[in-house]
Structure 1
Amino acid sequence: MNSLNISIDYEAYKSLAELNENDQLLCTQAEEALKSSYSPYSNFKVGTAIRLANGQTVMGSNQENVAYPSGLCAERVALFAIGAAYPGVVIESMAVTAHTDNFNISTPITSCGACLQVMAEFEQRQKQEIEVIFYCLNGQVLKLKGVKSLLPFVFIEDRLSD
Structure 2
Amino acid sequence: MKELKITSTLQIYDAFEELPEDIQQLMRQSFEIRDKAYAPYSEFLVGAAILLENGEIILGNNQENACYPSGLCAERTAIYYAGANFPNVPVLKMALSAKSLKHSLLTPTPPCGACRQAIAEYEIKQKAPIEIFFMGETGKVVKSCSLANLLPLIFDNSYL
Same fold (TM over 0.5): yes
Matched to 2:134, the amino acid is F
Matched to 2:18, the amino acid is E
**Aligned positions of 1:10-159 closer than 5 A:** 10-158=10-158
In the TM superposition, what is the alpha-carbon distance from 1:71 to its structure 2 partner?
0.1
In the TM superposition, what is the alpha-carbon distance from 1:136 to its structure 2 partner?
2.5
Q: Distance in 2 between matches of 1:10 and 1:152?
A: 13
Q: Distance in 1 between matches of 2:38 and 2:136?
A: 20
Structure 1 stretches of 5 or more lacking a match? none
Percent identity of paired positions between Structure 1 and Structure 2 = 43
Structure 2 stretches of 5 or more lacking a match? none
In the TM superposition, what is the alpha-carbon distance from 1:157 to its structure 2 partner?
1.9
Matched to 2:50, the amino acid is I
Q: Distance in 2 between matches of 1:15 and 1:85?
A: 33
Matched to 1:113, the amino acid is G
Matched to 2:152, the amino acid is P
RMSD of aligned residue pairs (Cα, Å): 1.1
- TM-superposition CA deviations, 1:42-79 (whole Å, max 9, x none): 00000010000000100000000000000000000001
**Aligned pairs, number:** 160
TM-score (norm 2): 0.96
